[in-house]
Each structure stands twice: as C-alpha cells, then as structure tokens.
A and B are shown apart, each in its own frame.
Chain A
Amino acid sequence: MSGGRRPMVEVRGVRKSFGDVEVLHGVDLDVHAGEVATILGPSGSGKSTLLRTINHLERPDAGIVRVDGELMGYRRVGDRLHELKERAVLRQRARIGFVFQNFHLFPHLTAVENVAEAPVGALRRPRAEARREAAALLARVGLGDRLDAYPRQLSGGQQQRVAIARALGLSPRVLLFDEPTSALDPELVGEVLTTIRDLALGGTTMIVVTHEVGFAREIADTVVFMDRGHVVEQGPPAEVLDRPDHPRTRAFLAQVR
C-alpha cells in the first residue's frame, strides 16, 4: 500500500491538553507497514491519548498525524491546514481499526451484526456479503460458533475477540489497541493475546498500548516507553526492555515485573 520507505503511521510534534493539564508534550512516532509497535508506560503517561489522536478521536492541539500518507483531520491548501468536516474525518477513520479497553460492543446487535455494521454503514458494502465476511472474521478469531450470540451472552475474552473482528471488518491499514486485556479476568487474557499475536504474525500493522511486558517483548518490533506525556525511549524490545537507558524506564520495568 505505502510506497517506498514512508512509514505507515507518522506522528509529529503532537500536543494535547485537557483543561490546564498537558498530557502530550510534543510526541513523535513512526510505525512502518507490517510493523508492531507497543506503547508501555505508567498510567497517566498519555499512552491512550496518543493512540486516540492517531485516529482523531482526540483532536491534537498542535502537531500532525499521517496514516498511509493521508493527513488526519486536515486538508492542506497552500501553506494552511483546513480542518476537515466531521463526515470526512469519519471516512478517514473507517480505514483505521480501534479496539477499546472496555470492548464497547453494541449490546443490541449480535456478534455477526456487530462485525458487519461498519462495512455496511461506512463502506456501503452489500449486507449479505458483509455478513458472510463477518462470519469468516469471527471464525478467524475462534468464534465461528457464536455468530448469533449477543455480547452479554459472551465472556469478556470472547467479547474482546468480537471487537477485534469488528475492527478487522474495515480491512484497516492500521489496528490500534487501547489496553485490550486490562478489563479482562486473568484467565481470559491469554485468548485475546493469542488472537493479537496471530494478527501480528500475519503482517498487520499494529500499535498496542499494553501493560503486558512479556507480551510486548514477544510481538513488538518496536517498544515505545512513555512517561508524563513524553516518549522517553523507543527501540527494539531487546534494547528498551533488557537494557533501558532511562532511569524512568528502569523504574517502571522493575515495578511491573
């Protein structure tokens, strides 16, 4: 999809404040196509906010985000950036998958309806075709036998896998995971991590905010460590996780281990 060496996701100088508190102090990040980046860091370090600025769920106060060369939320006219209307932003988002910590499945729709909703509603695919593809995606995350179950009839791990299938339904260029296992009972974490691992092996470009250090080491091409709104350190897991330069990284890793 992306030509040459241009990264799939480019984040440059992104700042974001909520009220008086600045949660992102000018963050830069590159993720190449087919690469898996995991973002680690203590709570309140701005990981989730960074992820949400990538698909423009949060509008950055300064800085820009490009996904597959497409500038998120703006259109360049000469040397000005014109803010896009909501409809155009929604269209951009339909190419980026987002998996929430609390799943946010649509409770009144069955698993297969949850997955087929966006292809029909956002990409205007024919309903029967979208349903067929949704069923195939659910089979891929191991839920081929629960197509007609409502979210409340599923376990947390199953719900999160439906949510992953729902994000995949848009054939996204990038998948963003916001702490996908934090709301799960410990014995259900494994099935979700397995699903994400399979996607990583399949070459999907992913950015994963997580607390699972072991998992990050296993799947990540790049580990990004954030603290207080800054990217403190980034690099291959062997460097960042095993020989961290920064004292904050060392302190954090000592705590979570």
Chain B
Amino acid sequence: MSSAPPAAPVPARHAPADDDPDELRGLTVVPARYYGRWLAGGVVLVLVAQFLHGLATNPGWDWPTFFDYLLAESVLKAVWLTLQLTFYGTALGFTLGVLLAMMRLSSSPVPRAVAWAYIWAFRSIPLIVQLLFWFNLAYLYQELGFGIPFGPVFWTFETMHLVGPITAAVIGLALHQAAYAAEIVRGGIISVDSGQREAAAALGLPKLRQLRRIVLPQAMRGILPNAANEIISLFKGTSIVSVMALGELFYQVQVIYGRNGRVVPLLMVATVWYIVLTTVLTVVQHSVERRFARGAERQPEPGPLDQLRTRLRGLAQSRSSARALHQSPVPPGLPPEPLTDTARTDATATHATATHATATDTTATDVRGPRKGEAR
C-alpha cells in the first residue's frame, strides 16, 4: 500500500468507483508499517543496551570508588565553591552586562564606543588567559589606591590581600561573562517591537519606567534561553579555574586522583555532579521562562509535571482501549519526550480513528510501541 488509507468517509483515491461509500466507512483501518524505521530503532536500542551493559560490567569504571567519593566531604566542599563561583560570576556578570547593553543602546556616542570596545576586548581574550592575568595582578600592581584620579590618594591596599585567588577568579569570570551577557541582553531589547516603545512614549511614561515595565519584561522572553545557556556554560566553565589551584570541583577531583591514581571513577564523580546541577538549572530555567511568558499565548503552555500527567493519562487510556493498534505500553525507564516530527505525524495519522484520546495524549505510546516490539 502506498499510503495510509484516509480515515474519513471519503473513498480512497484508487478504490473502484462502484464501491459504496457507506460500506467503505465501516471497514477496518490497517495502519501503514514502516519496517525500515523499526529496524533502525532496533539497532539503536541494541547499541544503547551495549553501552549500558559496559558501564555496569567493565571493572575499569570502578563503581565502589565512585560511591566512596561522590559524597565525600572534600568533594562536597568543592561543589559548594563551584556553585559560589557560578553564582557570583553570574550575578556580577549579568549586572555589568545589563549596564553594557544600556550603554551600547545609548544615544550618546561615548558610552556606546566604550561598551563596544569592552565587548570586543573581552570576547577576544580567552578566559584562561584573562584568569591568569587576574591571578598575577599583584605582580603588576603591588598596591591599589582609592582617591582622585591623577590626584591625591586616600586609601591604599595591598593587592595580595584585596584580590585573593577566589576574588580573582570571580572577577575574571564576571568580566568575561559580562561581555556575552551584554550582547544577549541587547539582543533581547532590540527584538521588542518598536511600537511598544512608541506606545509607552505616547503615554508619557518616564524613560526608566518604559524600560523596566514595558521593554524588559518582553525582552526577557528572548533573553532567558540564551542567559540559561550562558549560566550553564559558566557553571561548567568554572573548571577552568583549576589552573589557579582553586579547590573547585574539577581541581579537587584532580587532587584526589593524583593521590590514589583512580582517574576514571573520580572523573565520573565530577561528571555526575555537573550533570545533576545542570539539570537543576534547566528545571529552574523552565519555570522562570513560564513566568515571563505571561500573555504570550492564548493558553499557557503546560509545565513539565502537567505534561507528564497528560502523557500518563494517555498511556492509561491506550492500555484500556481494546482497539489500540500494535502497541505495547511504554517501559517505565524511557524518557517521556516525544520523538521526531515524522514519527509524531505518523502516530497521529494511524491513530485518527482508533481511539477518542487526543493526539498529544497518545503520541508517546504510539511512537514507542512498534519500536519495542521490534527490539524484542
């Protein structure tokens, strides 16, 4: 059969003309079968299974050592420092970034040029080089003073005391981050429809309020996904700070495997922590994005928990449905995301007449049913 037969009472194009349309309407629908797709799915599943099997059985992973160190005090301390570096780097970086973005959008040429030059410079210097500069600041300037430019100095500080390694790392990360944050914020602001600012101006709203109440909340929708990217990459980027012998996660793990030689399980300790914390950030990102989507959709998009609930309900329905076609229930271990677009379309098409469940309800089960059958 070249295509799936239509579900509605419209007769199939290649059906003989003398078929009774009322009779056609009552016929059973046989869904199209995509053997190539099943085969590919099966191959992928075998490869994944092989990989998981290796993880579990290869003694090289040394899981006992991994579990010894995963929650060790030194590792937890290092995780905490990593989080602090990320937090201060993000907070300072984005504060400075917003300022730089405003300067770049200013109607006065001096701030515009200064912000442009800053972004140009800090995007050009590799983070690791910049960090080493900050680390060696005391070599360049032994003392830092506070006073009138080119005039008398009121207070002086020993640079070594003022800029310790942690401060140097935070400064380096924040200055680097600010250059990228500035461009992200600027991108968000210029993406807001110019009519919005015009309407705010026509209402006589003061400049700052136009920005705070009208432009920024709308710009946030564009800023957030990119900002989350930056925060996550900064979080993992803190591992670069290990060049400064700061006891963050990656450095700490290196110290431990330098002592006991168990390289792989300790790298896994770091990996698992990075994955877990990135996942937390991703969840936070999602809920913040939803907050700023106010008014953007006619119907607010369901959150991850709502989606899961909907899917589970769809699953329960298709299980109880006697007419469910060629599908076995989703194994509990599989992730709830739907697969590719083509798979989705196919699933809804074959399902059009089968149950009363909505397309989204049943997508996950339909797509996976045949794959699992093939893998058996």
Contacts and interface: CB of A to CB of B under 8 A. Distances in A.
Are A and B associated in one complex? yes
Contacts of A222: none
29 contacts: A55-B202, A57-B201, A87-B207, A90-B204, A90-B205, A90-B207, A91-B204, A93-B202, A94-B204, A95-B204, A98-B203, A100-B202, A102-B195, A104-B195, A104-B196, A104-B198, A104-B199, A105-B199, A106-B214, A108-B218, A108-B292, A110-B295, A117-B203, A118-B205, A121-B205, A121-B206, A151-B295, A152-B296, A166-B203
Contacts of A90: 201, 204-207
A240 to B, nearest CB: 28
B203 A93 contact: yes
Interface string B277-306: 000000000000000101111100000000
Rank and list the top 7 A-B pairs by shortest CB-CB distance, nearest first: A94-B204, A150-B295, A104-B199, A118-B203, A98-B202, A93-B204, A122-B204
Interface of A: 55, 57, 86-87, 90-96, 98, 100, 102, 104-110, 117-118, 121-122, 150-153, 166, 170
B217 interface: yes
A88 to B, nearest CB: 10
Interface residues on B, range: 20 to 34
Interface of B, secondary structure class, is helix
B202 A57 contact: yes
A117 B201 CA distance: 12
Nearest to A102: B195
B199 A122 contact: no
A216 B207 CA distance: 36
Contacts of B204: 90-95, 118, 122, 170
A109 B294 CA distance: 8
A184 to B, nearest CB: 16
A42 B295 CA distance: 36
B201 A93 contact: yes
Interface string B184-219: 000000000101101111111111010001100110
Contacts of B200: 106
Contacts of B199: 98, 100, 104-106
Interface string B235-263: 00000000000000000000000000000
